[in-house]
Amino acid sequence: MPRPRRRKMTRAEWQHLRNGLLFTLPGIIGLLGFTVYPVLASLYYSFCNYSVLKPPQWIGLGNYSVLMHDSQLGVALRNTAIFAAMSIPLGVATAFGLATLLNQRVRGMAFFRTIFYLPSVMPAVAGAVLWLWIFNPQYGLLNTALAAVGVAGPGWLSDPAWSKAALALMGTWGVGGWMVIFLAGLQDVPAELQEAAHLDGASHFASWRHVTLPFMSPHLLFATVMGIIGVSSFFTQVMVMTSGGPADSTLFFAQYLFQNAFQYFKMGYACALAWSLAVVLIFLTYLIFRGSARPVPYGGE
């Protein structure tokens, strides 16, 4: 069967294509220069001995061989995993709880939604400085409140046993973005199904478990995946508040990568760390999607 001939573009279509490319050219140049090139360059440098100050020297898989035996990397990975196990469930639960409360039909709800969302748009450095004062073991607001009820507060950021928990607690303050996503999902749950469940004698908890929660599963899945990515890049607050201390208890992967790149000038090794992290994140995301016991229902399906 002969292949159909492609229709030639008219003069007007060529003009539209040319104008469209001209208008998008700044964005295309920015994408190529500030995203595509750095990504490809980092992949090349991951196979090189590169100190930024001297030209890169090709060493093959040398950097990847080193990271397999890097004990400090093991500390950073362990801290990151523990912090993820603390912060992601706590953050998702807090955001979901706030969204549930803010989904009620009461007066002034728009004001409360705005108040709970505002911390998520505060600059990270400003928020970190604020929480430094809150976590102050002697004069901080948190230990002062605990002392008022007869509880001696710990040295939140000066005690290795409490430092990661303190950072996880701080993270619940900025869950406004997740809260908005959950709130949109809650408003998309079919009201007729909830009413039918109540008419059948289901309690509020049963209705929440069998109607609301299944419809919220796409949003919970999204928050979990984004939480894992966010924990792997958790950097600014740690640099401002602890710089990896005390006793390397808050040395997370992102900070260890930064140290190798800009303090030890091991840019090639840092690129190898970054690409290894990308592979691990892709694998974890794959496991999360494959590990779902049942298909995730999406709106309209």
Q: pLDDT digit string (tens) for 18-49?
A: 999 999 999 999 999 999 999 999 999 999 99
- When mean pLDDT is compared over 6-10, 130-134, 189-193, 290-294, the highest value belongs to 130-134
Q: What is the sign, positive or negative, of the torsion defined by CA atoms of 78, 80, 82, 85? A: negative
Q: What is the structure's pLDDT at 198?
A: 79
Of the pLDDT bands very low, low, confident and very high (cuts 50, 70, 90), residue 12 is confident
What confidence tier does 5 reach under pLDDT thresholds 50, 70, 90?
low
Residue from 168, 170, 164 nearest 245 by CA? 164
Identity of the residue numbered 220:
L
First to last CA, the chain: 39
Q: What is the structure's pLDDT at 144?
A: 94
- Segment 121-168, tens digit of pLDDT: 899 999 999 999 999 999 999 999 999 999 999 999 999 999 999 999
CATH homologous superfamily of 80-253 = MetI-like (1.10.3720.10)
Domain boundaries, the chain: 80-253
| Band (294; pLDDT cuts 50, 70, 90) | low
- Average the pLDDT over 269-276 and give the result: 97
Q: Rounded to 5 degrees, what angle do the CA atoms 74, 79, 83 make?
A: 150
